[in-house]
Amino acid sequence: MKPQKRIRKRHSAIARDQRLFSQCRLWTWEGLASPGDGQQYTTAEKRTPFGWIDMGHDLAHQLLKRPRNWSVAVRALCYSPDGAMWMESRIFDLPSYNLQQIQGAYHQLRADVLTAQRTAQVYDLGWICQTWHGTRPEDDLELWHYQYTPEQIIRQVTNNEKTIKRMAGPGFSQERYDRWQQVNREYLEDRKRVLEQENAA
């Protein structure tokens, strides 16, 4: 009797890709500029057994090439003259979606967030997106979307010092406020021009 041949499971490039990018995140703030060139930049990170690490340009590009499960948040950082600080945000899920296809949704969410606040109180606005694989992780506080927000804001939802230290980003500054107000004016002018061109077509 001949020994049975062992059947190897075929390698699935798609399954491997899904596992590799199962816990990744990207975010940007409109009012934070790169020290190198003064331009707005996007941070892309991947979770590993050693914590979150920078993905680099090539992996970040691969992350955006395929449909994935995304949680997306648009968030505004707000500050009042009496020193109060808070965050206004809009969150939604995009199961099995190509993130590059939602630019229109971002414009709408951005407008929704700003409608809920006085623009004069906003000192920065940005988005954050995070992938998940299988079932969406339970997160009653939606803590993931507090990544790189000021410590004072994170403390409004958790008192875990380790978490706060790991997640906290820069806070309010007059420079950041002025830069974002200028970015917002330019953004609104560009959107108005684009919409006028679309309506004229």
Q: What gap in Å lies between CA 79 and CA 158, rounded to an integer?
A: 20
Q: Is the pLDDT of residue 42 over 60?
A: yes
Local confidence band at 139 (pLDDT 50, 70, 90 cut-offs):
confident
Q: Which two tokens stand for residue 23?
A: 């816990």
Q: Is the pLDDT of residue 10 over 70?
A: no
φ, ψ of residue 10 to 5 degrees: the values are: -65, 140
User: CA dist 36 to 32, 103, 106, 172, Å?
Assistant: 12, 27, 27, 21
Which has more confidence, 128 or 63? 128
Domain ranges of the chain: 19-200
HSE-CB of 157 using CA atoms within 13 angstroms: 20
Local confidence band at 137 (pLDDT 50, 70, 90 cut-offs):
confident
Q: Is the pLDDT of residue 102 over 90?
A: no
Sheet with 85-97: list strands edge to edge: 51-54, 43-48, 24-29, 122-132, 68-79, 85-97
Local confidence band at 94 (pLDDT 50, 70, 90 cut-offs):
confident
Q: Which residue has the tokens 């993931």?
A: 144
pLDDT at 14: 64
